[in-house]
């Protein structure tokens, strides 16, 4: 579920849309609010897109069953196109006008307006400033709050541990990023299997008790 830019030149004049790798697991927006999240980690990937260099410092929070909860990417485009954006992707079935509210350590909220909504996700964005980067480096956690289709706030906390190291450090290679994705999916599958087993064991115990 790595962030990618399809066309760096085109994004200079239009909203950037983040897509997920083909290996990403399906998203079910209606169930995401109650899903139990897995641990999230910050990492950086870089790639050449036409005549620009694109680097993304990102974090993806997913449920044990593979559903997307929240994904955030700090995008830097340099070269023929120069642009910096902060993008946050949440499941679909969101109320559009409220956008996504970002709070660092409970401070003043910053609103991200939605740039694009697809059938399985919505992406909000704002220009990425030095002030935002500094706040993330100094912060302990960032909270992204969207409003779901039930008109209920859906705050998602993402720890900022490791953010500075990822932002200032070397980017992962493509093979490292693919291996990270594989391990993440294996971990999610294992947790889901454990959950299914626990449910089955509880049902069997209940039947025996009767």
For the cut 50, the answer to whether the pLDDT of residue 20 exceeds it is no
CA dihedral 22, 168, 141, 177 (to 10 degrees): 20
Least confident among 12-26, 40-54, 127-141, 156-170? 12-26
* Band of residue 197 on the pLDDT scale cut at 50, 70, 90: confident
Distance CA 84, CA 126 (A): 9
Percentage of the residues of the chain whose pLDDT score is greater than 70 = 76
User: What's the rounded mean pLDDT across residues 154-177?
Assistant: 89
Q: What is the pLDDT of residues 28-87, one digit of tens each?
A: 333 334 344 445 689 999 988 888 899 999 998 887 667 788 999 999 999 988 999 999
Q: Across all residues in the chain, what is the average pLDDT? A: 80
Q: What is the pLDDT of residues 147-160, one digit of tens each?
A: 999 999 999 999 99
Helix (H) or strand (E) holding 187: helix 174-209
Concatenated DSSP letters of 101-123: EEEETT---EEEEEEEEETTEEE
User: What's the rounded mean pLDDT across residues 105-120?
Assistant: 94
Q: How many CB atoms lie within 10 A of CB 44?
A: 20
Q: What is the pLDDT of residue 91?
A: 93
pTM over the 0.85 mark: no
Tokens for 178, please give them. 């693919």
Contacts of 42 (CB under 8 A, 6+ apart): 57, 58, 59, 160, 162, 163, 165, 166, 167
Distance CA 146, CA 89 (A): 10
Distance CA 126, CA 178 (A): 28
CATH number given to 10-209: 2.60.40.1880
* Band of residue 102 on the pLDDT scale cut at 50, 70, 90: very high
Q: Please state the domain extents for the chain.
A: 10-209
> Of 199, 195, 194, 188, which is closest to residue 66 (Cα–Cα)?
188
* Band of residue 181 on the pLDDT scale cut at 50, 70, 90: low
């Amino acid at each position: 579920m790595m962030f990618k830019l399809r066309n760096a030149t085109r994004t200079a004049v239009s909203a950037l849309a983040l897509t997920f790798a083909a290996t990403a697991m399906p998203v079910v927006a209606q169930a995401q609010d109650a899903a139990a999240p897995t641990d999230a980690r910050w990492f950086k990937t870089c790639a050449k897109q036409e005549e620009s260099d694109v680097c993304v410092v990102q974090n993806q929070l997913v449920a044990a069953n593979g559903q997307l909860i929240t994904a955030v990417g700090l995008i830097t485009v340099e070269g023929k196109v120069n642009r910096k954006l902060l993008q946050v992707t949440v499941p679909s079935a969101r109320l559009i006008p409220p956008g996504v509210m970002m709070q660092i350590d409970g401070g003043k909220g910053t609103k991200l307006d939605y740039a694009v909504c697809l059938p399985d996700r919505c992406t909000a964005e704002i220009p990425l400033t030095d002030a935002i980067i500094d706040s993330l480096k100094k912060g302990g956690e960032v909270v992204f709050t969207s409003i779901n289709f039930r008109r209920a706030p859906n705050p998602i906390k993402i720890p900022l541990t490791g953010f500075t190291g990822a932002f200032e450090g070397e980017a992962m290679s493509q093979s490292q990023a693919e291996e990270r994705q594989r391990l993440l999916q294996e971990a999610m599958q294992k947790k889901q299997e454990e959950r299914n087993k626990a449910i089955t064991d509880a049902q069997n115990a209940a039947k025996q008790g009767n």
